[in-house]
A and B are shown apart, each in its own frame.
Chain A
Amino acid sequence: DTEVTQTPKHLVMGMTNKKSLKCEQHMGHRAMYWYKQKAKKPPELMFVYSYEKLSINESVPSRFSPECPNSSLLNLHLHALQPEDSALYLCASSPPGGTFYQETQYFGPGTRLLVL
């Protein structure tokens, strides 16, 4: 089963709000990712957690704050977002170890975010 779940499915927030996106997987994957996707564009990597430690931050503004409480959970805390941050936020995970196998990423259904 290659299932990554994300909540909520949709989120509308104002520029002064604080909200969080949640991602969960129970496949024993040890790498988890946050991506942002705008319409008609490919996903853009934001953060990578490997074995619960932040390993990549693609120069994401500090109004996005990731957290990995355990190996199955990944959160993205949002604060003081701008309307241009409206997008589909995708979580992904990939299996541990190996080489080729490690790079295969499985995506959750995403949270569609609208910032007003």
Chain B
Amino acid sequence: RKEVEQDPGPFNVPEGATVAFNCTYSNSASQSFFWYRQDCRKEPKLLMSVYSSGNEDGRFTAQLNRASQYISLLIRDSKLSDSATYLCVVSRQGAQKLVFGQGTRLTINP
């Protein structure tokens, strides 16, 4: 079983739709949680850190459920520019090692 699991998609949704991604992690020692986005042939870019209480940044909302070891990302009012691969990433405190999910590919259609 992979340490971080994501639905690889692809997700194809119309512009303006709401889309949700889920991610589960198996290591209960995981302390830090992130969503990165990666555009085709570009580097991963930090989208959001995920806090225990949940957090929101504009159209993006991230949730963490430690009991279920589950992380989610919600994108509201999706834009064409949201098309990318979304990587769920976890880390143990002080481990200096990020563990990546396989990524979920999202395409927003006009």
Instruction: Digitize A88-114: 1 where CB-to-B-CB distance is under 8 Å, 0 elsewhere.
Output: 101000100001101111111110100
Number of interface residues of A (CB under 8 A): 26
In the bound complex, residues from chain B placing their C-beta under 8 Å from that of A106 are 46
Instruction: Digitize B62-96: 1 where CB-to-A-CB distance is under 8 Å, 0 elsewhere.
Output: 00000000000000000000000001000101111
Docked complex Cα distance between A97 and B68 (Å)? 29
Interface presence of A81 (CB below 8 A): no
Closest to A102 in B: B94
Which of B31, B44, B95, B96 touches A43 (beta carbons < 8 Å)?
A: B44
Interface presence of A56 (CB below 8 A): yes
Instruction: Digitize A52-83: 1 where CB-to-B-CB distance is under 8 Å, 0 elsewhere.
Output: 00011000000000000000000000000000
Q: Which residues of chain B in 33-56 are interfacial with respect to chain A, using CB atoms and an 8 Å cutoff? A: 34, 41-46, 49
Please state if A107 and B31 are interface contacts (CB–CB under 8 Å). no
A103/B42 contact (C-beta < 8 A), A42-B87, A42-B103 known: no
In the bound complex, residues from chain A placing their C-beta under 8 Å from that of B46 are 2, 104-106
Which of A2, A102, A104, A112 touches B49 (beta carbons < 8 Å)?
A: A104
In the bound complex, residues from chain A placing their C-beta under 8 Å from that of B98 are 45, 103, 105
**Can you spell out 7 A-B residue pairs with CB atoms less than 8 angstroms apart?**
A48-B97, A99-B94, A100-B31, A103-B91, A104-B34, A109-B42, A112-B41
Interface of B toward A, CB cutoff 8 Å: 31-32, 34, 41-46, 49, 87, 91, 93-98, 100-103
Interface of A toward B, CB cutoff 8 Å: 2, 31, 33, 41-43, 45, 48, 50, 55-56, 88, 90, 94, 99-100, 102-110, 112
Please list the 10 inter-chain residue pairs (A to B) with the smallest Cβ-Cβ separation, ordered nearest first.
Answer: A42-B100, A107-B43, A103-B91, A103-B32, A48-B96, A109-B43, A107-B44, A110-B43, A99-B93, A100-B32
Beyond known contacts A100-B32, A104-B49, A105-B46: 11 more, CB 8 A cutoff: A42-B87, A90-B43, A99-B93, A102-B94, A103-B31, A103-B91, A103-B93, A103-B98, A104-B34, A107-B45, A108-B43
